[in-house]
Amino acid sequence: MTTETTIEAKNTQPSIMANLRQGTAAAHKQLEKSSCFKRLFANDYQIDEYASLLGYFYGFFAAIEPTLFKDLPTSYRDSLKHRQKTQLLKKDLEFFDKNTDDLAICDSLPPMNNFAEKMGVLYVLEGSMLGGRMIGRHLSKHFQTDIQPALNFYHCYGENLDKEWQAFSAMMNRCFDDAESTEHSDILAAANATFMGLQAWVERCMSAEQVAEAA
């Protein structure tokens, strides 16, 4: 009887992806309030604002990905390494003649001390691609010019976006649905730290630009 009760409780436990959606909702919503993201859909959004946003992203991803994709478990290394996006951002920035060597790199990173924390971080970075598809389409229409060479990041997986997200979700569920509560806590804490870290970073970058323009 004890065994049956345990199995039943185990089977009705929310998936790690469901826990992440719920547990990061507040931080996600707060990030979206940052003016650089709200401006994306403004009628007077300028192309130089988009170039600046790509630079903010580059500084964040370029800081995180070397640690994020280092020393991954062998069984997942090949299925995760194609999810790196720093080079896509670099390609987008080349469209605007931006030298990435001149860009600021984030110096405050979310925790990535173990596989669980790394996957919490990657949950946020991968999830951003879902909204990215809509943003990419909007920007193409808004600017009414050919900016496809500057949409590699937002069109990351192209027609395979849904398939890639489903594969990532399945891997997360497979790895962590039956994991210890401490691993779930690590994943959730790292995901929230990523949302909050990105918000702090873009706001810091915007402030630095405003100071530079006023000088």
pLDDT at 3: 38
pLDDT at 13: 62
Q: For residue 41, what is the DSSP state?
A: G
| In the predicted structure, residue 2 carries a pLDDT above the cut 60 | no
pLDDT tens-digit map of 95-151: 999 999 999 999 999 999 999 999 999 999 999 999 999 999 999 999 987 798 999
Percentage of the residues of the chain whose pLDDT score is greater than 70? 94
Cα separation of 24 and 197, whole Å? 13
Whole-Å CA distances, 43 to 31, 107, 117, 143: 21, 33, 38, 10
Give the domain extent around 75.
2-214
Q: For residue 181, what is the DSSP state?
A: H
Point out the least confidently predicted range of 11-25, 82-96, 163-177, 194-208. Answer: 11-25
pLDDT at 4: 38
Mean pLDDT value across residues 64-92? 95
pLDDT at 5: 37
- Which CATH number do you get for residue 86? 1.20.910.10
pLDDT at 1: 33
**Torsion angle (degrees, nearest 10) of CA 201, 55, 57, 84:** -140
pLDDT band of 214, cuts 50, 70, 90: confident
pLDDT at 6: 37
Point out the least confidently predicted range of 17-31, 77-91, 144-158. Answer: 144-158
Average pLDDT, the chain: 91
Q: How many CB atoms lie within 10 A of CB 45?
A: 17
pLDDT at 35: 94
| In the predicted structure, residue 39 carries a pLDDT above the cut 90 | yes
- What is the DSSP code string of 48-104? HHHHHHHHHHHHHHHHHHHHHTSS--HHHHHHHGGG--HHHHHHHHHHTT--GGGS-
Cα separation of 205 and 215, whole Å? 16
Q: How many domains does the chain have?
A: 1
Point out the least confidently predicted range of 2-11, 12-21, 133-142, 200-209. Answer: 2-11
